[in-house]
């Protein structure tokens, strides 16, 4: 499948999906969103792919936000459609782990795409903001819901209401990202993370992701009960037997996904 606004390649267990509009700071147009959703679906269906990683072309921007030339002409009907929300929701529902490798400006709709990913890592040059208030609008891709859940109410309100950019160090301090790298080490670090995740039994990251996503919205009692049922299912797999046997035998496990 060919794309105009993104690049798609498989690197070992990782599908690398790159927003390829560097001349526009990787602003996310509707066509770009459509291609991102298509690529995410392709990667999710590929048995060889274990992790989906998103990044931006060039070294200046992950994604600067939604394409403002399109937003300028967006009416109420279009605004009520789950545009960026749809992609972020898709990434949350995708059973495979997702990584946002943030290589520069990550603002507005670009930040909302990253918030839909399970893991966020950044180069030390990255900057983050939700600047929509300065444009007479509010975020529409999920930031008002996801950002406070990730960084807490205090920093969520700070970023959303003030609209001022924060640097990579501050993003690490508040938990918006979990790892910082030098710019040229960002994708190698994402590759290392993908290969590490691929070394687990296939059911493990998928089950872990499902448990966290459900548990964040469920009652504590409900989340704990589902966790025990999920663990009960996994202890009956061949991979569980192989994993423990390999550990006791001091050898590398050979997982088969069953």
Could you read off the pLDDT of 167-199 as tens digits, one per residue? Answer: 999 999 999 999 999 999 999 999 999 999 999
Assess if residue 153 is contained within a domain: yes
Residue span of the structural domain in which 231 resides: 203-248
Which residue from 193, 189, 10 is spatially nearest to 103, judged by alpha carbons?
A: 189
| Banded model confidence at residue 121, pLDDT cuts 50, 70, 90 | very high
Distance CA 95, CA 230 (A): 14
Given 198, 214, 237, the domain boundary residue is 198
Mean pLDDT within 53-60: 95
Could you tell me which residue, 128 or 31, shows the higher pLDDT?
A: 128
Residues 28 and 109 reside in one and the same domain: yes
Mean pLDDT rounded to a whole number for the chain: 89
| Banded model confidence at residue 86, pLDDT cuts 50, 70, 90 | confident
pLDDT greater than 90 at residue 164: yes
Residues 217 and 139 reside in one and the same domain: no
Residues 71 and 46 reside in one and the same domain: yes
Inter-residue contact 83 to 141 (CB < 8 Å): yes
> What pLDDT sits at residue 68?
64
Assess if residue 75 is contained within a domain: yes
Pairing state between β 179-181 and 119-123? parallel
> What pLDDT sits at residue 72?
54
Assess if residue 220 is contained within a domain: yes
Residues 16 and 94 reside in one and the same domain: yes
Proportion of the chain above pLDDT 90, given as a percent: 58
Assess if residue 257 is contained within a domain: no
> What pLDDT sits at residue 74?
57
Residues 49 and 121 reside in one and the same domain: yes
Residues 157 and 39 reside in one and the same domain: yes
Inter-residue contact 91 to 40 (CB < 8 Å): yes
Q: Total domain count for the chain?
A: 2
| Banded model confidence at residue 208, pLDDT cuts 50, 70, 90 | confident
pLDDT greater than 50 at residue 80: no
Assess if residue 101 is contained within a domain: yes
> What pLDDT sits at residue 83?
59
| Banded model confidence at residue 81, pLDDT cuts 50, 70, 90 | very low
Residues 126 and 210 reside in one and the same domain: no
Mean pLDDT within 126-147: 90
Assess if residue 256 is contained within a domain: no
| Banded model confidence at residue 70, pLDDT cuts 50, 70, 90 | low
Q: What is the CATH number of the domain that holds 214?
A: 1.10.12
Assess if residue 254 is contained within a domain: no
Mean pLDDT within 40-66: 94
> What pLDDT sits at residue 77?
45
| Helix, strand, coil tally for the chain in percent (to 5) | 50, 15, 30
* Whether residue 112 lies in the annotated active site: yes
> What pLDDT sits at residue 62?
96
Proportion of the chain above pLDDT 70, given as a percent: 93
The one catalytic residue among 112, 169, 182, 242: 112
The one catalytic residue among 70, 81, 132, 242: 132
Residues 55 and 176 reside in one and the same domain: yes
Residues 61 and 79 reside in one and the same domain: yes
Assess if residue 84 is contained within a domain: yes
Given 176, 198, 220, the domain boundary residue is 198
pLDDT greater than 90 at residue 214: no
Residues 45 and 126 reside in one and the same domain: yes
Residues 126 and 62 reside in one and the same domain: yes
Residues 98 and 116 reside in one and the same domain: yes
Q: What is the CATH number of the domain that holds 132?
A: 3.90.226.10
Joined tokens for residue 208: 């872990």
Beta-carbon contacts of residue 43 (< 8 Å; ≥ 6 apart): 8, 10, 15, 17, 49, 52, 96
Given 158, 181, 198, the domain boundary residue is 198
> What pLDDT sits at residue 249?
87
């Amino acid at each position: 499948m060919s794309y105009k606004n993104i690049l798609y390649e498989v690197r070992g267990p990782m599908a690398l999906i790159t927003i390829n509009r560097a001349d526009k700071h990787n602003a996310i147009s509707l066509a770009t969103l459509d291609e991102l959703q298509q690529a995410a679906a392709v990667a999710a269906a590929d048995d060889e792919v274990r992790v989906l990683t998103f990044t931006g072309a060039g070294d200046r921007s992950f994604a600067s936000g939604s394409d403002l030339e399109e937003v300028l002409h967006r009416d109420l009907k279009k605004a009520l459609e789950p545009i960026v929300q749809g992609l972020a929701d898709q990434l949350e529902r995708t059973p495979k782990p997702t990584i946002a490798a943030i290589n520069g400006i990550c603002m507005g709709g670009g930040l909302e795409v990253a918030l839909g990913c399970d893991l966020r890592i950044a180069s030390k040059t990255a900057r983050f903001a939700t600047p929509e208030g300065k444009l007479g609008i509010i975020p529409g891709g999920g930031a008002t819901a996801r950002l406070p859940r990730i960084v807490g109410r205090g920093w969520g309100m700070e970023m959303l209401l003030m609209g001022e950019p924060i640097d990579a160090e501050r993003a690490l301090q508040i938990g918006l990202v979990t790892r910082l790298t030098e710019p040229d080490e960002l994708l190698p670090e994402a590759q290392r993370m993908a290969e590490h995740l691929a070394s687990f039994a296939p059911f493990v990251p998928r089950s872990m992701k499902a448990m966290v996503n459900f548990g964040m919205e469920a009652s504590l009692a409900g989340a704990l009960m589902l966790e025990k049922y999920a663990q009960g299912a996994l202890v009956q797999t061949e991979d569980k037997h192989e994993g423990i046997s390999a550990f006791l035998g001091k050898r590398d496990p050979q997982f088969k996904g069953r």
